[in-house]
């Protein structure tokens, strides 16, 4: 005889509900879900882990800190005009046992008193971000001895950098950003790498006071480094030899440097287990050097080749054959790249999820749809500032990228109208679109969405000629829309904007603004 399960045994465990809410497509829906029951409210409260504090948030801060007790990180915006010392003291009066990260970047006043109060409540803080400030390193080391990450890049003039005080007090540092510290000497970075025995990631962009030999000697002190970002005028053999000595190096950023083919080939011979490589705006190398490196680093997942002088479609087609595990690629500001490059990546890199090809020539070389392969992994596509794009190009993309969640066509939509509608129709998971200037170069333009798009949340239609009628139809079809930007849309009347806004507010109780 079968026994029906009790209501308690058939309920999902709390861990399952939390996992479901964490993967909700649109976080804006959390507030609606929190109204369902006290149990759902509790789940929603627990999954909100990040808080950004601005002047507008300040009056609500006590209520927010009482509600979201599982916060892990707090960021104070750089345009915060209140008393930062008082703010940190106020935060310290609440119980936030999971808090481990604080960001006070770009604040003109370094809150020494507030940090002392804050540290008494949160002495185990792990991450402290204070770029573009004038940090007191002695105070930081005293207050937060358990720090694992510190970003003190691009400090304000007049800072006295007590690097020894920092490294002697922070034995657990794992990641340090010293970018823009133009007044430090080679001995400083050597001391850092020598003393911080747990260091795994180092960033030294725009630190012109360090010599190549100084950086090379320093990183040899920490052979366990996994991530290194070094923006140099010239990548010398001393640096390459030091890089090769880092046998666990998985992330290397050499953007805006001068590096030769010989240097890249020497790097390839080192057999490093690179997963991320950034050569944005680098000079001095060519196809031979980068292809040599990619043949050896065949597990690369993220590649940046923005602003590369020699790059063309033929190069990208050949390189894509070496990138079977690639997830993310950035190819912005390469004028010689067309549709051939874009579709080669989509075809030869089956795991690709994000492609940046802004300011290229995508749309110039039309391809036949029956020659293309569907890529079900691609979710994010950034094609802003591509003036060759037209409806045919966008419709073809929509047909072979069925799982797109976001497409950015900003500043490139002058000849696009129906193509954007096809994306909404064909891509059933689409959530965000930037269509700034859509239809601007067309004598006749209509943006009529007369079918439901339940997954759609964010849309930018600024500088387009959308009418009151089209706006009303949009609000009915995209009934989950949360953000709609309509800057410089001159054909929308006050009544049209009000009608659209009322519809959206009535549907989801969210803000709607014609800016």
Averaged pLDDT, 150-173: 82
Contact 156, 132 (CB under 8 A): yes
In the predicted structure, residue 244 carries a pLDDT above the cut 50: yes
Torsion region of 512: left, alpha or beta (phi above 0 gives left; psi -120 to 50 gives alpha): beta
Which sign does the torsion angle of CA 464, 470, 475, 480 carry? negative
Which of 134, 160, 190 represents a domain boundary (last residue)?
A: 134
Which of 134, 167, 202 represents a domain boundary (last residue)?
A: 134
Whether 128 is covered by a domain: the verdict is yes
Q: pLDDT averaged over the chain?
A: 87
Alpha carbon 241 to its chain centroid, in Å, reads: 31
User: Which pLDDT score is estimated for 371?
Assistant: 74
Grade residue 209 by pLDDT with cuts at 50, 70 and 90: confident
Whether 114 is covered by a domain: the verdict is yes
User: Which pLDDT score is estimated for 144?
Assistant: 94
Kindly state the tokens that stand for 21: 């809410």
Kindly state the tokens that stand for 432: 């965000």
Grade residue 465 by pLDDT with cuts at 50, 70 and 90: confident
Domains of the chain: total: 2
Grade residue 34 by pLDDT with cuts at 50, 70 and 90: low
Structure-model confidence comparison of residues 86 and 498, the more confident one: 86
In the predicted structure, residue 500 carries a pLDDT above the cut 80: no
Whether 412 is covered by a domain: the verdict is no
Report the share of the chain in percent with pLDDT over 70: 86
Averaged pLDDT, 194-200: 93
Closest residue by Cα to residue 131 from 148, 110, 152: 152
Contact 215, 189 (CB under 8 A): yes
What angle (nearest 5°) sits at the alpha carbon of residue 423, between those of residues 420 and 429? 140
* Residues of the domain holding 494: 446-515
Measuring CA to CA, how many Å separate 56 from each of 89, 259, 484? 18, 47, 21
- Of 189-193, 424-428, 510-514, the one with minimum mean pLDDT is 510-514
As a whole number of angstroms, the distance between CA 443 and CA 445 comes to: 7
What count of residues does the chain have? 515
Contact 102, 74 (CB under 8 A): yes
Closest residue by Cα to residue 208 from 168, 160, 158, 256: 256
User: Which pLDDT score is estimated for 21?
Assistant: 57
Whether 350 is covered by a domain: the verdict is no
Contact 337, 311 (CB under 8 A): yes
In the predicted structure, residue 330 carries a pLDDT above the cut 90: yes
- Of 71-75, 169-173, 227-231, 278-282, the one with minimum mean pLDDT is 169-173
Whether 315 is covered by a domain: the verdict is no
Which residue do the tokens 């749809």 mark?
A: 369
In the predicted structure, residue 340 carries a pLDDT above the cut 50: yes
Measuring CA to CA, how many Å separate 463 from each of 14, 337, 435? 46, 27, 9
User: Which pLDDT score is estimated for 207?
Assistant: 79
How many other CB atoms sit within 10 Å of the CB of residue 470?
21
Grade residue 427 by pLDDT with cuts at 50, 70 and 90: very high
Report the share of the chain in percent with pLDDT over 90: 63
The secondary element (H helix, E strand) that includes residue 101 is strand 101-103
In the predicted structure, residue 443 carries a pLDDT above the cut 60: yes
How would you class 249 by CB atoms within 10 Å of its CB: exposed for 0-12, middle for 13-18, buried for 19 or more?
buried
Structure-model confidence comparison of residues 393 and 502, the more confident one: 393
Whether 4 is covered by a domain: the verdict is no
Whether 229 is covered by a domain: the verdict is no
DSSP 271-339: T---SEEE-TT-BS--HHHHHHHHHH-TT--EEE-TT-TT--HHHHHHHHTT-TT--EEE--S-TT--H
Which of 103, 134, 165 represents a domain boundary (last residue)?
A: 134
What angle (nearest 5°) sits at the alpha carbon of residue 240, between those of residues 263 and 309? 40
Whether 93 is covered by a domain: the verdict is yes
User: Which pLDDT score is estimated for 412?
Assistant: 80
- Of 164-168, 376-380, 423-427, the one with minimum mean pLDDT is 164-168
User: Which pLDDT score is estimated for 388?
Assistant: 93
């Amino acid at each position: 005889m079968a026994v029906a399960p009790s209501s308690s045994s058939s309920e999902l465990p709390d861990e399952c509900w939390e996992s479901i809410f964490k993967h909700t497509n649109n976080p804006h829906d959390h507030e609606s879900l929190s109204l369902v029951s006290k149990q759902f409210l509790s789940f929603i409260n627990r999954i909100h882990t990040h808080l950004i504090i601005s002047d507008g948030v300040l009056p609500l801060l006590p209520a927010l800190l009482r509600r979201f007790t599982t916060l892990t990180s707090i960021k104070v915006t750089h345009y915060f005009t209140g008393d930062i010392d008082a703010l940190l003291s106020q935060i310290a009066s609440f119980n936030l046992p999971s808090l481990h990260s604080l960001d006070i970047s770009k604040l003109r006043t370094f809150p020494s008193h507030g940090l002392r109060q804050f540290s008494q409540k949160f002495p185990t803080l792990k991450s402290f971000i204070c770029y573009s400030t004038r940090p007191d390193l002695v105070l930081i080391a005293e207050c937060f001895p358990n720090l694992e990450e510190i970003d003190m890049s691009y400090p304000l003039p007049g800072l006295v950098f007590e690097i020894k005080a920092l490294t002697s007090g922070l034995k657990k540092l794992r990641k340090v950003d010293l970018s823009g510290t133009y007044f430090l000497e080679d001995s400083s970075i050597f001391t850092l790498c020598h003393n911080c025995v747990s260091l795994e990631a180092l960033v030294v962009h725009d630190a012109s006071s360090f010599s190549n030999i100084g950086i090379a000697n320093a990183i040899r002190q920490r052979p366990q480094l996994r991530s290194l970002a070094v923006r140099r005028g010239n990548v010398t053999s001393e640096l390459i030899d030091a890089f090769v000595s880092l046998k666990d190096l998985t992330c290397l950023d050499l953007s805006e440097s001068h590096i030769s083919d010989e240097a890249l080939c020497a790097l390839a011979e080192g057999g490093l287990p690179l997963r991320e490589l950034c050569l944005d705006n680098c000079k001095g190398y060519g196809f031979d050097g980068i292809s040599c490196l990619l043949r050896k680093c065949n597990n690369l997942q993220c590649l940046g080749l923005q602003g590369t002088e020699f790059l063309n479609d033929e190069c990208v087609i050949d390189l894509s054959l070496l990138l079977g595990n690639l997830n993310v690629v950035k190819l912005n500001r390469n004028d010689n790249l067309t549709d051939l490059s874009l579709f080669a990546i989509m075809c030869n890199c089956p795991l690709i999820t994000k492609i940046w090809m802004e300011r290229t020539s995508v749309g110039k070389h039309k391809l036949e749809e029956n020659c293309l392969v569907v890529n079900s992994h691609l979710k994010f596509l950034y094609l802003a500032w591509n003036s060759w794009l037209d409806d045919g190009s966008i419709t073809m993309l929509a047909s072979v990228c069925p799982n797109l969640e976001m497409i950015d066509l900003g500043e490139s939509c002058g000849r696009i109208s129906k193509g954007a509608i096809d994306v909404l129709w064909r891509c059933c998971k689409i959530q965000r679109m930037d269509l700034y200037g859509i239809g601007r170069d067309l004598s006749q333009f209509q943006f009529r969405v007369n079918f439901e798009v339940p997954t759609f949340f964010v849309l930018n239609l600024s500088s387009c000629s959308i009418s009151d009628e089209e706006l009303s139809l949009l609000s009915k079809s995209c009934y989950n829309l949360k953000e709609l930007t309509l800057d410089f849309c001159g054909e929308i009347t006050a009544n049209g904007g009000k009608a659209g806004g009322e519809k959206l507010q009535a549907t989801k109780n969210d803000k709607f603004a014609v800016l």
